[in-house]
A = this chain, B = another copy of it.
């Protein structure tokens, strides 16, 4: 039977994964964050098959993570740009990047270090914080009933 979908799950993580939880979608979003906008550029940068890319871009547009803009006046030239919803995946992507850097030894020792444009200093590791701003771990949280 079909791959299981989670559109209607009451778990927001499942719903999120339903939209960006496959192998390619988050990578597309990542490259879009780095400035990629065009079909061919995604294709070359990611090394993805055209039909799959087409499908993924379509799904991301459908879910309003990207929107498709007709540039070039009369068709045949488009750009895929992040929506606010898409840009809002920034913490997810960064958290994932930091996790990968920390736990998966890089073949080339070049953990892409992102820096703040204003200060020029590296950004902080993404952390979950309580109301006072103190970092919390999984052991520190609970679900009230």
Contact = CB atoms under 8 A, between A and B. Distances in A.
A131 B123 contact: yes
Interface stretch (A9-17, A36-44, A54-62, A66-74): A9-17
A106 to B, nearest CB: 6
Contacts of A89: 99
A141 B129 CA distance: 22
A106 B12 contact: yes
Given A95-B91, A112-B143, A144-B113, A126 B126 contact: yes
Interface residues of A, number: 77
Interface string A93-123: 1111111111110111011111111111111
B128 A15 contact: no
Contacts of A110: 10
Contacts of A139: 117
Interface in A30-48: 30, 33, 47-48
Contact of A114 (B11, B115, B123, B143): B143
A88 B114 contact: no
Nearest to A12: B100
Given A104-B19, A138-B33, A141-B115, A128 B12 contact: no
B123 A90 contact: no
Contact of A93 (B13, B23, B30, B85): B13
